[in-house]
Amino acid sequence: MNVLAAHPGAWLVLDGYHFDSAYQRLVKERETGRRLLVIDDTAHLDRYDADIVLNQNIHARRLHYSRAPCTRLLLGTRYVLLRREFWAWRGHRREVPAIAKKVLVTMGGSDPDNVTLKVIQALVRTDIPDLEAVVVIGPSNPHREALRRAAESSPFPVSLVENVENMPELMAWADMAVSAGGTTVCELLFLGVPTLALPIADNQREIMSILTEWGFVDGPDQDPDEIGAEANCPIGIKMQHLVLDGDRRTLLARRGRQLVDGHGVLRVAEVLRGQAAGGIHLRPVSPEDCFLLWEWANDPVVRAHSFSPESIPWAQHVKWFQSKREDPDTVHFIATNEKSTPIGQVRFDIHSTKAEISLSLNAPFRGRGLATELIRLAVEELFRIAPSVVSVQAHVKPTNQASIRVFERAGFKKGTVSPRKGGSPGTAAPTGTGHERPAPVGTQRGLLPRDHPLTPGKQAAVYLSLARGD
């Protein structure tokens, strides 16, 4: 309390399972006016009396926090607190090789079950030519001698490093990583490192299960402590697949940078200073959004203003949604407001160095001038996570003047009207999942994608484009 008395305007931050409800109440009672932030990832307490509760994990919104009426929740990966040494890497561009030759292995501070050794052994069994591994040994790891022997007997170079102070550089060096399921995974996601994540502690299992299920990391089909020495070890097979599958690693790299953008510390600081802005926020589409996007696509206004007024069957939508989720050349965002309410969606289909944009706004949020800001934010984020993309294109019906003006206000430059056959990648329906290339203005007509079964034969479009740096 003496320390607090010397800093009357400071926030008190509590991070630990032992800071229970009674402790929070004691702080608020004894330190009148003291502002309190609690970092909590389980929602296990009967009540939270802090001014702010922070949970930076992907599953945070699934939890229920019983809290005081004035308690504000900061939930999800938008608030990931990256270490200071990672801040300078926000603009890092990752190149994804066809075959991953450089593997980073990091299993946390202690690794009591020596999962690190099992991973090295599994890597050896993959028999990939020209492989190279860097193995980070935590300060409390008791297995140094066994790891040293494994590294010396490995048929490929294995470097053991301790007391690491250059973790961002190691992650940037790596083509892929095998990691324990702790906070290191957030750092790997931020730097776009395709990762096989192994939950080696009970408090990691739920989070790693969701990250794996939602396709942000690859995960095991068995507990790491059950990894054996057999040649067909599932972990070894998964590592081999990830080493050889460049498309999968490209997809994981882009998704990781969508999920953790590196601005979490700044967002929390703005809240603490009372300067947090509202506006639009972007998050990657997750499997839980499938039904929401289907509902948007089948909005009666959407169907009434679409080329095909028939509703989209659920089975067809699910097939389309799953194919887009697995496509390494698709980047798909949900836009939310300051209350985390979904307000729209933006999708980019990448073709070499160009990307085509399709977007829509949820019905209650149309007519508020949000479309231009949404386009600007989404394009900026695309350029950040997809360095190969140098321009973004949109195609809008010539009669859709409102949508054309929205793109022009976002910086797009208009070209000529051109005929488009078979609904080849184009734009714009009023709102929905992207089955119909939705446009930013909620009641405009537009073009269907070429793979849609109801695509009309020949249509005209206005071409608009925005280059990186414009």
The two structure tokens encoding residue 213: 């299920």
Question: Does the pLDDT of residue 453 top 90, yes or no?
Answer: no
- For 63-90, letters b (16+ CB in 10 Å) and e give bebebeeebebbbbbbbbebeeebeebe
Cβ pair 355, 393 in contact under 8 A: yes
Instruction: Report the run of H or E that residue 346 belongs to, with start and end.
Output: strand 342-351
The C-alpha atoms of residue 158 and residue 109 are separated, in whole angstroms, by 19
The C-alpha atoms of residue 206 and residue 208 are separated, in whole angstroms, by 6
Query: How high is the pLDDT of residue 273?
Result: 83
**Tens of pLDDT, residues 53-78:** 999 999 998 899 999 888 999 999 99
Question: Which is more confident, 455 or 78?
Answer: 78
Q: pLDDT-derived band of residue 451, with 50, 70 and 90 as boundaries? A: very low
Cβ pair 290, 342 in contact under 8 A: no
Question: Does the pLDDT of residue 129 top 80, yes or no?
Answer: yes
The two structure tokens encoding residue 253: 């790299």
According to DSSP, the residues that pair with 360 across neighbouring strands are 345
Amino acid at 159: S
According to DSSP, the residues that pair with 347 across neighbouring strands are 332, 358
**Tens of pLDDT, residues 320-371:** 999 999 999 999 999 998 778 999 999 999 999 999 998 888 999 988 889 9
The C-alpha atoms of residue 35 and residue 33 are separated, in whole angstroms, by 6
Listed residue (340, 338, 379) closest to 359, CA to CA: 379
- Residue bearing tokens 């290191």: 184
Question: Which is more confident, 262 or 309?
Answer: 262
Other C-beta atoms lying within 10 Å of the C-beta of residue 286:
18
Domains of the chain: 2-79 (no CATH), 92-259 (3.40.50.2000), 278-467 (3.40.630.30)
Question: Does the pLDDT of residue 429 top 90, yes or no?
Answer: no
Question: Which is more confident, 231 or 176?
Answer: 176
Kind of pairing, strands 458-467 and 391-396? antiparallel
The C-alpha atoms of residue 382 and residue 79 are separated, in whole angstroms, by 20
**Tens of pLDDT, residues 223-261:** 655 555 454 677 888 899 999 999 999 999 999 999 999
- Classify residue 368 by burial, with Cβ atoms within 10 Å: 0-12, 13-18, 19+: exposed
Query: How high is the pLDDT of residue 262?
Result: 94
